[in-house]
Structure 1
Amino acid sequence: MLGPRRAKPVSRPSPPASRVLSPVQRAIYASGDFTINAALNALAFVFTAYFLIHVAELRPALAGLVPLIGRAVDAFTDPLMGRISDRTRWQWGRRRPYFLIGAVPFGLCFALLWVPVPFTHELLRFAYYAFVYCLLTTAMTVLSIPYLALQPEMALSYDDRTSLNTYRSAGAMLGVFAAVSVRPLAESFGGGPTGFQFAGFVLGCLFALPWFFVYRVSFERPEWREQEVSTTPFFRGLVEVLAHPNFRRLLALFLFSRMAIDVISTLLILYFTHWLLRSEDFERGMVIFLVAVVSALPVWLWVARRTEKTQLFAYGAVLWSAVQCVLFFVQPDWSRWTLFLLMAVAGAGYAAVDVMPWSMLGDVIDEDELRTGQRREGVYNGVFTFVRKLAGAVGVSLVLGVLDLLGFQANEPTSDTVRNSIRLLAAFAPLAFLAAAVISAGRYPITRAAHAQIVAELWRRRARSATRATSSTQSNS
């Protein structure tokens, strides 16, 4: 008589694959941030505040409305793209195929944005640039949302995410270099509307190319791709994400910090041109600023391994805020090198403010999985990216609207009232937003120890699920 069949020993699943990107692969992956940040900063630094006003000859109020209309489109497309990438189940992956789909439209739309249109009526010019702007932001959404959603999957640990986001931030800073080069590049092509058209074409090609290499070096973990697709309706899932308390706290921190970044990005070229009367020093100052940002990133990464992310964010914000206070007192006859020194100090603080929120987002997504059992990187990054764009559009629209009310006009003598208003806004508007961001950081509770507990519980849960699945398979056999 046969005894009971002995069950085969159940092997516990091994921890998630330890595959990580090499330093070279991280640098190539960061080139995606180079293109997106270059485009966004070209829109903020040059397109809205300079090209639309001085070249396309739109009123400041209409120029400020162009990005605001684009953000209205993003309010729908960013979260929707996150939902789409979460639910994609192609054999090539959930996220990476969109790098190939969006690359060429992204470069083409960027080039079209700088085309001088032959319309004599101001509203027709406004309609053209607003329409192409919306096309460009949609193409960026197709690329950036899957790109950002892929990060928590490739970098699993608390510190590895900080490392990958440091590489991303370095790539983003190189993108700012490209954005600052728009005016000099246009001048090299003869200047004026035609010069900007050729500059837009060259940069459009440059921005499309890296995405083919990003596709090559990035990867997706099979065990994440095989997770069950959420059946929660789109808007209900969006409400659930926004109901996540710690995500709301992170959103507040991110919103205020991005408004500080984008407001000063728009006003700085006007500050150099109309307050300091040194338009030619804008690009030089930005180069020093960006060199300081890139140089500070390894230092902040070293500090990040020894402190909490919110503390590091606050250190950077305070350092940057000190420079904002001094900007109000800078006079046109001050030494150029004194101003450049201030730009360098501000760059060091900016580096921490820029990199930390993105590093913290992956930790919030892990907490959401613990709460709901779902991985929703796409939706979270869609909302996050929309807030990043919305903050810039609202800030830019507000400050340009104020200048329009004060009578600011391109190619006309600038009154003392407008000059002092530019100085006041450039110094204190970002300072107010930075203060609100630091207050928000103090309310964010996910520390290194808390995240370690989240990850450990997630692994125990996955191990139990895998064991049950294995036992069920053996019973059926």
Structure 2
Amino acid sequence: MDAMGQSGAQVGSHSVDRRTIATYAVGSLGTGGFATLPGLVLLYFLTDTLGVAALVAGIVIAAAKVWDVLIDPVIGIRSDHSLATTGSRRRFMILGGVTLPVFFFLTFAVPAGLGPAASAGWVFVAFLCCATAFSLFQVPYIALPAELASGYDDRTRLLTWRVVVLTLAILLFGAGGPLLRGISDDPRVGYLVMAAVAGLVLGAGMLVASSVAPSDKPIARRSPAQSPAAAYRAGLDTLRRSRPFRTLLGTFVLQGLATGMMLAGAQYVATWVLRSEDAVTPLFVALIAPALLLAPVWGRFARRVGKERAFALASTLFAVAALALVGLLWAPGLWVYAPVALAGAAYAGMQSLPMAMLPDVISHDARSNGEGHAGTFGGVWTAGETAGMAFGATVLSMILATTGYAERVAGASVEQSPSAILGIVLSFSVVPALLLVASLFTLRWYRLRQSDIDSPSRPAENRTVAR
């Protein structure tokens, strides 16, 4: 057995030990926190503290994330190379965990004397470095479940508890971040405090999870280093040969676009629709409290009906909840917390189930094409996830710009036009709901089932689901 099968998980048995589950799950403090806090506050920081125009702010975030998308497949194939030559992916994860807190702090440490254009440039460079550090951790982290657990249900169990921590991280950063930001009357100081505390927590979660990867050890197998061009070819090849991967990734990207848009829009809804900048905290509590309770329930439900059916139900519920939020146009009020809570209950399934399906896809591919490609799959997956979340904020910025949103510098007072309020609400309700409906159509083409994973007697190349 090679090194990737020896990581504290009992690969080949019917269970994964609790220590492996817990240690792996802690990494979601980093992944969940980084996915949540910049998505929630960075666009708002640019438009309402630095005075950057909404469209320019959206381009800044998208450009940094495009770089992230480009490097993810390269990190993925280099991670596979590291596994083949040293028996471990850990070095990438540690490097990301050490450097991310520094760049996260610098993203919000914009000197006060800079104008909007220079401030946008500062944020772009710092956030680009921050996204790079995150990818160094995230790509191998995504690849690990295929190596830590060998069974269909074992992966559901491993990923379910990861999503419990992920959900807790969303609550911690989504509600706690704005509270830390409000610790000072000076918004710039508040953002610095938030960035310092959040960055340390992000890095700590990543470093703890890095220990679940096997440590470096000399092994007989050797693999030549791959060029970036080879990395892209390998990534495209995974998409070409694996239909389950294409359909699952397409579904997840569409949903990432929807949730990224809603995440970036939450602060605008709180400030301009609910008329309280601090209302973003109870919005996140309403979203995450049901998700915390129901993440394990979705895992149990998936074992009864199948992951893909449970995923479709969760996605449908989220679409219904998002569409209901269009009522904010006519009657903003406390009722909003009910559909937000329904969205939270659905969101737990939308996160845990595709994450549990991805290792199945990797395992299924390994039967036909050999092991050692999990990092490549992880790189393409992370690139798709990053693109979805990032362009969610960009689409929001385009809607805001089109509907006449008025940016401001810290301390300035502005009023938004009715068309700007319309843009905020539609981007928080109708547009995400339509994206969720589109994702259900792509999910219909996912054909991988438990029998394809846990029945080794059937050759993978003879199964129609593979292509």
Calculate the TM-score normalised by the size of structure 1. 0.86
Q: Closer, same or farther in 2 for the Cα pair 1:305/1:409, shift >3 Å?
A: same
Task: Indicate if the aligned counterparts of 2:307 and 2:357 stay in contact, CA closer than 8 A.
Answer: yes
Task: Read off the aligned partner of 2:76 and give its amino acid letter.
Answer: G
- CA 226–360 in structure 1, closer or farther in 2 if over 3 Å, else same: farther
Q: Specify which of 58, 73, 87 is matched with residue 79 of structure 1.
A: 73
Tell me the distance in 2 between the aligned counterparts of 1:446 and 1:85.
26
1:127 to partner: Cα distance: 0.9
Moved more, 101-110 or 368-377: 368-377
Contact residue 110 and residue 119 of structure 2 kept, 8 A: no
Work out the CA distance in 1 between the residues paired with 2:404 and 2:280: 23
Moved more, 282-291 or 133-142: 282-291
Q: Deviations over 1:51-103 (max 9, x none)?
A: 11111221111111122111221232100000001011588632122222222
Distance 1:333 1:325, change over 3 A: closer
Shift of 1:453: 3.0
State which drifts further: 444-453 or 232-241: 232-241
After TM superposition, list the pairs within 5 Å mapping 1:221-300 onto structure 2. Answer: 229=223, 233-244=230-241, 245-300=243-298
CA contact (8 A) 1:154 1:220 kept: no
- Deviation, 1:272, is 2.3
Q: Is the 8 A contact 1:87 1:94 kept in 2?
A: no
Corresponding residue number in structure 2 for 1:313: 311
Shift of 1:166: 1.0
Alignment deviations for residues 237-283 of structure 1 (CA, whole Å, 9 cap, x no partner): 22211212222111111111111111111112212221232333221
Deviation per CA, 1:403-443: give whole Å up to 9, x if none. 11322113421111111221122111111111111111111
| Matches of 1:454 and 1:437, distance apart in 2 | 30
Residue 393 of structure 1 pairs with residue 387 of structure 2: no
AA partner of residue 384 (structure 1): W
Q: 1:433 and 1:227, CA in 2 relative to 1: closer, same or farther beyond 3 A?
A: farther
Residue aligned with 1:353, SS: helix
Q: In the alignment, which residue of structure 1 is the partner of 2:191?
A: 196
Paired position in structure 2 for 1:9: none
User: How far did 1:284 drift?
Assistant: 0.8
Question: Which residue number corresponds to residue 11 of structure 1?
Answer: none
What's the CA shift string for 1:345-381, capped at 9, x where partnerless?
A: 1111111112221111111112222222243000111
Larger radius of gyration: 1
**CA distance in 2: counterparts of 1:97 and 1:237, whole angstroms:** 22
* Alpha-carbon distance change, 231 to 106 in structure 1, aligned in 2, over 3 angstroms: closer
- Counterpart in the other structure of 2:127: 133
Match of 1:446 in 2: 448
Q: Is residue 393 of structure 2 the alignment partner of residue 362 of structure 1?
A: no
* Bigger mean CA deviation after superposition, 212-221 or 386-395: 212-221
CA distance in 1, matches of 2:287, 2:324: 16
Shift of the alpha carbon at 1:450? 1.9
The SS at the match of 1:366 is helix
Counterpart of 2:7?
A: none
Give structure 1 regions of 4+ aligned residues with deviation exceeding 6 angstroms.
220-223, 225-228
Q: Is structure 2 residue 149 aligned with structure 1 residue 155?
A: yes
Distance 1:211 1:311 in 2: 31
Q: What CA distance in whole angstroms lies between the structure 1 residues aligned with 2:42 and 2:225?
A: 41
TM-score of the superposed pair, with normalisation by structure 2: 0.88
Q: Does structure 2 retain, via aligned residues, the 8 Å contact 1:189–1:199?
A: no
Q: For 1:68, which of 44, 59, 62 is the aligned residue?
A: 62
Pairing 1:375–2:377 present: no
- Of 279-288 and 161-170, deviating more is 279-288
User: Counterparts of 2:86 and 2:102 in 1: how far apart (Å)?
Assistant: 25
- In the alignment, structure 1 residue 105 sits paired with structure 2 residue 102: no
Q: Is 1:43 paired with 2:38?
A: yes
User: What is the SS of the residue equivalent to 1:57?
Assistant: coil
Match of 1:402 among 399, 404, 420: 399
| Aligned positions, number | 441
Structure 2: how far apart are the matches of 1:226 and 1:167? 34
Q: Give yes or no for contact 1:275–1:420 (8 Å, CA) kept in 2.
A: no
* Residue 201 to residue 90, structure 1, CA distance change in 2 (3 Å): farther
1:187 aligns with 2:189: no
Structure 1's 122 and 190: CA in aligned 2 closer, same or farther, altered over 3 A?
Answer: closer
Distance in 2 (CA, whole Å) between partners of 1:209 and 1:445 is 38
Query: Residues 230 and 306 of structure 1: is their aligned pair in 2 closer, same or farther, counting only changes over 3 Å?
Result: farther
Change (3 A) 1:359 1:332: same
Question: Does the CA-based 8 Å contact 1:313-1:352 persist in structure 2?
Answer: yes
Deviations, residues 144-196 of structure 1 (Å, cap 9, x unaligned): 11111111100111111111111111121122123222221022244410121
What corresponds to 2:427 in structure 1?
A: 425
Identity of aligned residues (%): 22
Deviation at 1:397, TM superposition (A): 0.9
Amino acid at match of 2:208: F
